[in-house]
A and B are shown apart, each in its own frame.
Chain A
């Protein structure tokens, strides 16, 4: 039995008086798609942040691929194979989509203390970048400046950038936020394709997506794990129904009604 790719134990973080993470424990084997769900303010984004490297936890440990990364800074975790997409789009707005993704490729293509050669002419950077854009469906917008892309396209770019770093673990924070149903479907299809070859931690609100993609689900409420397991079990868990799914059903009724 191999060690899980990601092992989280006793992870805690508080901001002033608010407990954002309370002794969180997770074990995620390689290749799994693991969804994190919970009501607003449950600490899902904080957890993604803790896994990615900012903020630093107060207590607890994170092991990635058998190695303790708790004290590693953000960029080192990325170099180890952890990639993150942001809930609130965080891109290089005055560059083109292609430039954005190419930078992500560049970060993992050797050092960047090269002062002469035009980086925009480096096929080793541009080709993988175009491929990544193609995979999320943005090939046609490669040469458009980010601040001229639609919100949905920017969300797609977020994912393309995370993918371009050739990660082993992908941390996706509400990747479909703000996307229309077509665009969402496309992303879901893409993520489904990646399942198995990539390990994913997915924060998501839309329960249909969660149940379609997730191998296992963890439910967070006020920073604490109240349930964790296979989708069917979580769905049936009484505590979860009360704390979250009840609220979720009500929202979905509004949504479909």
Chain B
């Protein structure tokens, strides 16, 4: 289910497919997790099972273009990603909240960087420090994906795009 709007003037190649490719690449290579798309009904069902969510945002900026990539995921998925990333044994103490936030921030950071490398390889973006906060539910308007059987929303929002192109 892809409901994200994409500005025509955005100087990125590959559209939403580049975003999906970045999420899949990051999830599989660093977190050993599988990514699937899913229909709205299934996604709603998966989403309803979670009350505690995290939202991680990473800004990107260069003279012609700026915006933000945000990942919304349930705490359960965040903890699973943490275990996969760090190789935590079941016998070890669980991650504390600060560590999980750091990990989810890095997840968003890698997705943002991987997407920009695919979509705008000839440009040099500055990425902001990830901002992670708890939320009650995922926002609407992003890519609705399933990561290791858990819901995950990835949204790209542009705050600045080239003027010359937007005026077409």
A and B associate: no
Q: Which A residues are closer than 8 A to B by beta carbons?
A: none
